[in-house]
Amino acid sequence: MNIGQAAAASGISAKMIRHYESIGLCGKAKRSTSGYRVYADTDVHVLRFIRRARDLGFSTAEISKLLALWHGRRPSAEVKRLALKHVADLNRRIAEMQEMAGTLQHLAAHCHGDERPDCPILGALES
Amino acid sequence: MNIGQAAAASGISAKMIRHYESIGLCGKAKRSTSGYRVYADTDVHVLRFIRRARDLGFSTAEISKLLALWHGRRPSAEVKRLALKHVADLNRRIAEMQEMAGTLQHLAAHCHGDERPDCPILGALES
DNA sequence: CTTGACCTTCCCATGATGGGAAGCTTGAAC
DNA sequence: GTTCAAGCTTCCCATCATGGGAAGGTCAAG
């Protein structure tokens, strides 16, 4: 498989596959005589693992740890710890954004939204 | 006021004030004879406006529009439209992260979390 | 053998923020 | 008056994940 096929099969762009290789997230791909990267099914399994982890919002550093656990002794305690830490991080960011959205929603509800210059949203930003 | 005082008074780091000036978000500060940036209270008002908008999660492009509305005819219809678009964007991202967190929470709940190698979280990532 | 699709590497860009270096200015203490 | 620290200036680099694009090599089908 060339990188294009591996990209299609894994759902990661060729650009990102090269990037992940360059930062050491996945191992270096074998090369054909002409220098093309060559991928086997096992390599695509790894790439799919990476894509699913990425879709769950894990950073590359976290994915790196997950990969090591996956390929190693896989103690589920450590995996669970990583996952719950990530959940906590997500929840923290969710709460931050909910507060922003709530504030703005409230301000917008009190904004008549016509052509008058008096606007509670601008008022809140300037006060 | 020097940039340090303006930073303390506005809650934006000196580094970011220079950056905002360089990208044209705020006007160029006046300079002393020796080249130091000099800020008046009105400049700090602008910086505080920027900080509050930033705290509500607006991008610099959006803040730029809000500043123009603030300093111009301030039609509240346009401000409200911007605010609600931003709320919609926040809600979209919140929903994405909630889905990630929910999935992970569910997987972690089914993970015994001991030293056994069998882990539903890794299972979901590899399947 | 040409052509078009694919591959390679390398550089640059995003957006918001910070670190740090080299050098100049200011104000206060001695 | 000099000296010293703190603060200012500009400039370059880094983050994180991702993509664009250029210049050039390779492969398969016509």
Model confidence pLDDT, tens digit, residues B68-118: 999 988 889 999 999 999 999 999 999 999 999 999 999 999 999 888 888
Residue pair B111/A83 in contact by the 8 Å Cβ criterion: yes
Give the pLDDT confidence score for residue B118 in this predicted structure: 85
Give the pLDDT confidence score for residue B116 in this predicted structure: 82
| pLDDT over 90 at A118, yes or no | no
CB-based contact, B41 to chain A, within 8 Å: no
Pairs of CB atoms within 8 A across A/B: 152
Q: Which of residues 62-121 of B touch A (CB under 8 A)?
A: 66, 69-70, 73-77, 79-81, 83-84, 86-87, 90-91, 93-94, 97-98, 100-101, 103-105, 107-108, 111-119, 121
| pLDDT over 90 at A53, yes or no | yes
Model confidence pLDDT, tens digit, residues A94-107: 999 999 999 999 99
Model confidence pLDDT, tens digit, residues B15-64: 999 999 999 999 999 999 999 999 999 999 999 999 999 999 999 999 99
Write down the mean pLDDT value for chain A: 95
Give the pLDDT confidence score for residue B75 in this predicted structure: 84
**Cα end-to-end distance, chain B, whole Å:** 61
Could A112 and B53 be called an inter-chain contact, meaning their C-beta atoms sit closer than 8 Å? Answer: no
Burial of residue A107 (CB within 10 Å: 0-12, 13-18, 19+) is buried
Buried b (16+ CB within 10 A) or exposed e, A85-102: ebbebbeeebeebeebbe
Give the pLDDT confidence score for residue A119 in this predicted structure: 92
Question: 3-class SS at A71?
Answer: helix
